[in-house]
Every structure is written in structure tokens, then in C-alpha cells.
């Protein structure tokens, strides 16, 4: 059992009891005061937190609704000063990059009593701070808020002593930043020393972030607008910007003012080939390079002052490989012609993508506004038409628009529609031109040639192939040709076992050859038609062969592995024919008709001579194209050319006639005696 204290031992006198109670009362009072004091501190804290939260909310709200970060900053610094009783605030904006990075005041400041600190405010509003130890300068080095309790005590000169004159004491510098990106700095001053308050700093940093969002948003919007008006790949103005400008010129034209504009429409020849052969990245690099060359030409005219210089020259990229230059000025027609000439010059040097040497030429169409154009789109259309005309004349041509072109353009559109219909109606057919052993006069093969049975007339490819290529019909047509020729060859062999050996030579267009699944297509056609692949010869032009040599080689080797033989067509017209001959596995070369026709000249004769020597050295067959006269045949025979084709032997004939000729024992004519070179 616990011993209990004896209550009687606590008996005290009344006086002592009173004293005891008074002590107790005093303690209670102290306790109450302490409790009140704790509660008051809590209330004060809650009040401040709430006020700061409200400030943050109001600044965030302002930031959300603001399009101009300076408006948000104006609002924020006034609110912050009002809440804290701070007397001055100033805003500096981040300018420059790298070594040029600095903070510049923008004249945006807030003062409780502007008249009493005007000198300080005025100087602050023009301040430029470089990275340094001063509070704003430090933001550039380490963007984190700086709170100085008393700048006067810290010995800070405070803007040449003006801070002291205005009795400014504490300074609080807050970065406006989002992530690592510093956009601006807010600086605040008080007129009494204020201890740094971490919670307050945290809130100010958050306000800085909210305003940073407005800067970021504004920067993004600016970028969006720029992107909408600029081609991101080449950094040239885009079609939208160009059309705006052209439209503005047309809108500004009145009857009284003369129109002085020309459009130069530029389409890069050879770009698509590079894009298809080396891939889009290579194509992009080529575009960037060519765009940069074009820009230099345009800028040269735009910025060089000389008498009669154009008022303005705007270059834009308006499509994949299409550019346009708008020339304004009194001598716009002459300027446009000069610019076009310079463009051809500047594009001429080749360009290397990795180890691939690539070239671009330009087809250029020019249209002048002589005042007859009512709408800008018509001027643009005519420049486009002229460009198409230039393109049809081969790479590197300039054509100025005239009215006959419009008719031709309309004709081209019609032709395109007709081509599509022709494909559906099966209006295409093949003709076969014999290829002859020059020595014996016997047929060794045929070249399958495409024709279009358009009503009663037979249309040659020269009239429709370009349109077919431009409209993506070439691959369809090319596949059809290969299938048809294979079917015919297989049929001949099946039905007529007694036929002498022959081959069927089929032309493949560059775009067709560059299809990623070309080898598969050929294999499918061989399977479907049951043709002996050893009968097939594929003719490829140099353009198609050289664009991506590695890929060309692998495709050619795959074809050869199937038993197909390969001819390099139009030999001698390309850029560096002999090199390709050594590195790519061709079985034959076909000497272009231009050398054969011109065979009497010493130059062509020497070239043919050289071609034959190399072909012999590489053990490659040689076929001369376009033999039209006996004299040509004799000369070719004299230099040792083994095979030939041309009107002297036969034109291209129908399959029936071709079969007949192949079966006939009588051969074609042979060279005159004494012209044969014994190899």
C-alpha cells in the first residue's frame, strides 16, 4: 500500500494561503499571456502566408491572362511593393547571348513616392548590368534571389550613392526564369533594414517563375509566327510569306502607279533523284546547300547599291525543290534575267554528300508583270508555266513566259488526264527494234520501245514521257513495259523452239530503278511471265546509275544474279561515264546516237575509239545506236563496234513482224568489205 501524505502537515495560515493563491493567479496570468503570444505568432504567420498566397494567385492570374510579360511585371512589382511596404522596384530584361549577355533596364519601375527618389529611379530605369558581383549582375552568373539586409551597412555604393540619398536600405533581387532560361530580373528596395525571409524569398521565386512562363509563352508565339512565315529547313521565307508579299504589292497597285515586278520560278533539276537515291536526309542537305547559294544571289541583288538596282528582292522556298524570287524595281525584267543567269552559274559547282558527288541545275521560268495581271495568282501561274517549259528543254534552262506557253500548259494538263485514261484503257503498246550483229547482219536481240496508240495515231514517248514522270505514272508504265516485253519474249520462245538465240532489251527509267522494291518487281514479273531471265537485258541511263553508286551496284548485282544482263544506255552523255563503267557491273554499253550521227567529226570518232578500247579492256559489249547510213555502219565496223541498231537496219516493228524477222534466215546488210576490224 502506497503511503499517503498527511493532509494536516499542509495546513497553512490564511495569509500564507492567500499568498499561495496569488502566486497561482500570477502563474495563470503568465500562462495566458504566453498562450496569447504563441497564438498571435501563429495568427501573424497564417496572415502572412495567406497574403503571400493571395499575391501569388493574383500574379499567376495576371500571368495567365497576359500576352505581354511587361504588363505582368508591372502588375507584380506594384503588388509586391504594396504588400510588403517596399518603396521601389525596378525591372531589368535579359539581353544578348554568350559573352554579350547582360541585363538592361527597360524603364519599368515602381516607386511609392516617385518624386522623392527620382534620381535613383531614373538611373535604375536606364541601368545596364553585366555579369558581376552586384546583385543584378549576379543573376547572370547564378540566377537565384539575393536579399541584402541593409545595403548601407554592407558598404554597397548603391548606384553611385543615390540609394543612400533615397534612404534605401534592404535590397531584394529576384530572377524571372523558367528552367534555366533567365528572362528578366526584378529588384526591390525598402527604406528600413529587413532581415532575409526564406519563405518570402520562396514566394518571390515562384512569382519569378510565373512571369517566366509569360516570357516563354511570348517566345513560343513569336516562334510559331516565324515558323508560319519561314521554311524551317532552309530558313528562307515560305510560300505564305511570299504570297502575302506578292498580294500586298498587287493590293498596293493602283491605276496610277506602274507595276514593276518579275517572278523567277526555280525548280531544281536532279534533286528528286538525290532524294530517292541517297535518302531524305541527303536530299535535305542538298536543299539547304542549294538554298544557301540561291539566297546569296538574291541577297547580292537586294543589298548591293548600284544605279538602277532593284527596290527589293525576296526569295522564298515554295515547295519541295521549288523556289521563287520576287523582283521589284524599275529594271525588273533585266534584273530577273541577270538573276536567272547568276543562278545557273552558282548552282554549277558540284556538292559532296559524304562521298557522293551530286549536282543540281535549275529550270527557271520568268514572268513579268506588265500591268495586265489582275490577280497575283495569275502571275505566279505564268512563272510556273514558263518554268515547266524550261524544264522540258532539259536541265539548266531559263524561259520567259509568253502566251503560247499557257496553251501548252493547258495541253500538258490535258495530256496527263489522257495518260491516266490510256493506262486504264490499255492503249499502250510495244514496238521492237532489232539489234544486229554488225559483222554477220543477224538479229541478236530487240529493244522494246513504248508507244501510245492514241486513236489512229501512234504517239512516241518523247511526247508523253516527261508528263508521265512528273505525274508519277512512270513507274506504272515502266513496270507494264517490262511485263509486256517479258510476256512477248517468253511467248516467242515457247511457241517457236527453233528460233535462234535472242535477247529482249528493256529501258528502265531512273525513278523506276530507284524504287526500293525494284528487284522484287523484276523477280515477280519473271515469275509471272515465265520468261527466261537470261533473255532479258535491262537498259539503264547513267543518271540513274550514278546517283547512289553503292545501291546501284547492289541492285545491279541482284539482277545479274537472276541471269539478267545490263546495258548502260546513252553512254558518253553523262558526267563521268568511264569511271562508272569500271566500278559497276554492266554487260554492254550503248553508244549514244549523237556520237554515231556525228561520227564524221574527228572528235566523235576519237571518242568512239576510246569507248571501244575501254569496252574491250573490260570485256564489255558495245552497241551503237541510231545507225542510219551505210557510211556510219562502215565507220563503226572499221573501229571494231560489234553490235548496232538504227533505221539502216530497221525501225521498231510490231511483235508479229519482229518474230517474223527473227525467224527469217536472211540477215540485214553487213559492212563493206575491208571495214571489219579483226579484234
Partner 1 sequence: MKGVIFNLLEEVVTEHHGDSVWDTLLETTGSSGVYTSLGSYADAELYELVGAASNLTGIPVRTLLHWFGINALPKLATRYPAFFESAPDARSFILSVNTIIHPEVRKLYSGASCPHFHFAETAQTLTLGYRSPRKLCDLAHGFVEGVAAHYGETVTFSQPACMHDGAPSCQLLVTWPQ
Give contact residues for partner 1 (rule: CB under 8 A).
25, 32-33, 36, 39-40, 43-44, 47-48, 85, 192
Residue 350 CA to its chain's centroid (Å): 20
Nearer to partner 1, 40 or 68 (CB): 40
E strand or H helix that includes residue 398: strand 398-400
Reduced to 3 states (helix: H, G, I; strand: E, B; else coil), residue 440 is: coil
Q: What does the H/E/C string look like for 547-570?
A: CCHHHHHHHHHHHHHHCCEEEEEE
Question: 208 and 175 in contact (C-beta within 8 Å)?
Answer: yes
Give me the helix-helix angle, 518-529 and 474-495, nearest 10°.
Answer: 30
Nearer to partner 1, 199 or 576 (CB): 199
Q: 261-269 and 322-328: which strand pairing?
A: antiparallel
Rounded least distance, CB 149 to partner 1, Å: 13
For the chain, the straight-line distance linking the first and the last C-alpha, in angstroms and rounded, comes to 139
Nearer to partner 1, 84 or 241 (CB): 84
Question: 128 and 96 in contact (C-beta within 8 Å)?
Answer: no
Rounded least distance, CB 39 to partner 1, Å: 5
Tell me the C-alpha distance between 385 and 265, whole Å.
Answer: 9
Rounded least distance, CB 32 to partner 1, Å: 7
- Beta-strand (E) ranges in 474-535? 503-508
Residue partners of 537: CB distance under 8 A and separation at least 6: 445, 503, 504, 505, 506, 564, 565, 566, 567, 587, 588
Nearer to partner 1, 40 or 122 (CB): 40
Reduced to 3 states (helix: H, G, I; strand: E, B; else coil), residue 121 is: helix
Which grid cell sits at 105?
533596364
Residue 97 CA to its chain's centroid (Å): 27
Rounded least distance, CB 58 to partner 1, Å: 18
Nearer to partner 1, 54 or 221 (CB): 54
Nearer to partner 1, 51 or 600 (CB): 51
Residue 105: name the closest of 125, 135, 87 by CA: 125
Rounded least distance, CB 36 to partner 1, Å: 5
Rounded least distance, CB 85 to partner 1, Å: 7
Rounded least distance, CB 46 to partner 1, Å: 9
Tell me the C-alpha distance between 284 and 233, whole Å.
Answer: 7
Question: 327 and 301 in contact (C-beta within 8 Å)?
Answer: yes
Rounded least distance, CB 131 to partner 1, Å: 36
Alpha helices in 230-270 (DSSP H): 239-252
Q: How far is CA 462 from CA 70, 107, 308, 539, 625, in A?
A: 65, 71, 43, 17, 17
Rounded least distance, CB 47 to partner 1, Å: 4
Nearer to partner 1, 191 or 632 (CB): 191
Alpha helices in 253-306 (DSSP H): 271-278, 280-303
Nearer to partner 1, 196 or 501 (CB): 196
Q: Which residue has the cell 552523255?
A: 573
Nearer to partner 1, 34 or 550 (CB): 34
Nearer to partner 1, 85 or 300 (CB): 85
Tell me the C-alpha distance between 120 and 231, whole Å.
Answer: 47
Nearer to partner 1, 47 or 647 (CB): 47
Nearer to partner 1, 40 or 527 (CB): 40
How many CB atoms lie under 10 A from the CB of residue 618?
12
Amino acid at each position: 500500500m502506497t503511503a499517503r501524505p498527511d493532509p494536516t502537515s499542509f495546513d497553512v495560515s490564511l495569509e500564507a494561503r492567500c499568498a499561495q493563491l496569488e502566486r497561482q493567479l500570477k502563474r495563470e496570468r503568465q500562462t495566458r499571456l504566453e498562450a496569447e503570444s504563441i497564438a498571435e505568432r501563429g495568427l501573424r504567420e497564417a496572415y502572412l502566408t495567406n497574403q503571400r498566397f493571395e499575391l501569388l494567385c493574383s500574379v499567376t492570374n495576371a500571368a495567365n491572362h497576359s500576352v505581354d510579360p511587361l504588363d505582368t511585371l508591372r502588375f507584380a512589382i506594384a503588388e509586391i511593393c504594396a504588400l510588403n511596404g517596399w518603396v521601389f522596384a525596378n525591372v531589368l530584361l535579359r539581353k544578348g547571348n554568350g559573352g554579350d549577355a547582360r541585363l538592361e533596364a527597360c524603364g519599368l519601375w515602381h516607386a511609392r513616392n516617385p518624386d522623392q527618389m527620382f534620381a535613383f529611379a531614373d538611373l535604375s530605369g536606364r541601368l545596364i548590368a553585366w555579369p558581376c558581383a552586384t546583385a543584378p549582375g549576379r543573376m547572370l552568373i547564378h540566377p537565384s534571389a539575393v536579399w541584402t539586409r541593409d545595403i548601407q551597412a554592407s558598404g554597397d555604393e548603391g548606384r553611385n550613392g543615390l540609394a543612400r540619398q533615397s534612404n534605401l536600405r534592404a535590397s531584394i533581387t529576384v530572377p524571372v526564369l523558367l528552367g534555366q532560361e533567365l528572362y528578366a530580373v526584378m529588384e526591390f528596395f525598402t527604406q528600413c533594414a529587413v532581415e532575409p525571409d526564406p519563405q518570402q524569398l520562396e514566394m518571390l521565386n515562384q512569382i519569378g517563375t510565373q512571369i517566366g512562363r509569360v516570357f516563354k509563352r511570348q517566345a513560343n508565339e513569336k516562334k510559331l509566327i516565324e515558323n508560319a512565315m519561314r521554311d524551317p529547313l532552309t530558313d528562307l521565307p515560305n510560300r505564305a510569306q511570299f504570297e502575302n508579299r506578292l498580294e500586298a504589292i498587287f493590293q498596293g497597285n493602283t491605276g496610277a502607279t506602274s507595276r514593276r515586278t518579275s517572278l523567277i520560278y526555280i525548280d531544281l533539276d536532279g534533286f528528286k533523284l538525290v532524294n530517292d537515291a541517297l535518302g531524305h536526309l541527303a536530299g535535305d542537305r542538298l536543299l539547304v546547300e542549294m538554298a544557301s547559294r540561291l539566297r546569296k544571289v538574291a541577297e547580292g541583288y537586294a543589298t548591293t547599291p548600284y544605279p538602277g538596282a532593284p527596290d527589293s528582292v525576296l526569295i522564298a522556298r515554295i515547295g519541295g525543290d521549288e523556289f521563287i524570287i520576287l523582283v521589284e524595281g524599275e529594271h525588273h525584267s533585266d534584273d530577273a534575267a541577270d538573276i536567272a543567269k547568276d543562278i545557273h552559274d552558282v548552282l554549277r559547282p558540284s556538292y559532296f554528300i559524304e562521298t557522293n558527288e551530286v549536282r543540281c541545275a535549275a529550270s527557271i521560268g520568268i514572268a513579268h508583270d506588265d500591268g495586265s495581271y489582275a490577280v497575283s495568282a495569275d502571275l505566279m501561274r505564268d512563272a510556273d508555266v514558263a518554268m515547266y517549259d524550261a524544264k522540258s528543254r532539259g536541265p539548266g534552262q531559263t524561259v520567259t513566259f509568253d502566251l503560247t506557253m499557257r496553251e501548252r500548259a493547258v495541253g500538258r494538263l490535258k495530256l496527263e488526264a489522257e495518260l491516266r485514261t490510256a493506262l486504264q484503257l490499255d492503249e499502250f503498246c510495244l514496238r521492237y527494234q532489232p539489234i544486229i550483229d554488225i559483222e554477220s547482219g543477224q538479229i541478236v536481240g530487240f529493244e522494246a520501245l513504248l508507244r501510245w496508240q492514241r486513236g489512229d495515231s501512234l504517239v512516241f514517248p518523247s511526247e508523253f514521257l516527261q508528263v508521265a514522270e512528273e505525274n508519277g505514272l512512270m513507274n506504272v508504265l515502266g513496270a507494264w513495259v517490262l511485263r509486256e516485253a517479258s510476256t512477248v519474249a517468253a511467248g516467242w520462245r515457247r511457241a517457236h523452239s527453233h528460233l535462234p538465240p535472242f535477247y529482249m532489251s528493256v529501258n528502265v527509267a531512273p525513278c523506276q530503278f530507284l524504287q526500293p522494291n525494284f528487284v522484287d518487281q523484276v523477280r515477280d514479273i519473271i515469275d509471272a511471265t515465265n520468261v527466261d531471265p537470261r533473255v532479258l537485258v535491262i537498259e539503264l541511263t547513267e543518271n540513274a546509275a550514278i546517283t547512289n553508286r553503292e545501291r546501284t551496284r547492289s541492285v545491279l548485282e541482284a539482277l545479274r544474279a537472276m541471269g539478267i544482263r545490263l546495258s548502260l544506255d546513252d553512254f558518253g552523255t553523262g558526267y563521268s561515264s568511264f569511271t562508272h563503267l569500271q566500278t559497276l557491273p554492266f554487260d554492254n554499253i550503248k553508244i549514244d546516237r549523237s556520237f554515231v550521227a556525228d561520227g564524221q567529226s574527228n572528235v566523235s570518232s576519237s571518242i568512239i575509239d576510246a569507248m571501244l578500247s575501254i569496252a574491250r579492256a573490260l570485256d564489255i559489249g558495245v552497241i551503237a545506236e541510231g545507225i542510219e547510213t551505210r557510211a556510219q555502219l562502215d565507220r563503226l565496223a572499221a573501229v571494231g563496234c560489234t553490235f548496232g541498231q538504227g533505221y539502216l537496219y530497221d525501225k521498231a516493228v510490231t511483235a508479229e513482224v519482229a518474230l517474223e524477222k527473227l525467224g527469217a534466215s536472211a540477215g540485214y546488210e553487213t559492212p563493206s568489205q575491208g571495214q571489219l576490224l579483226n579484234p
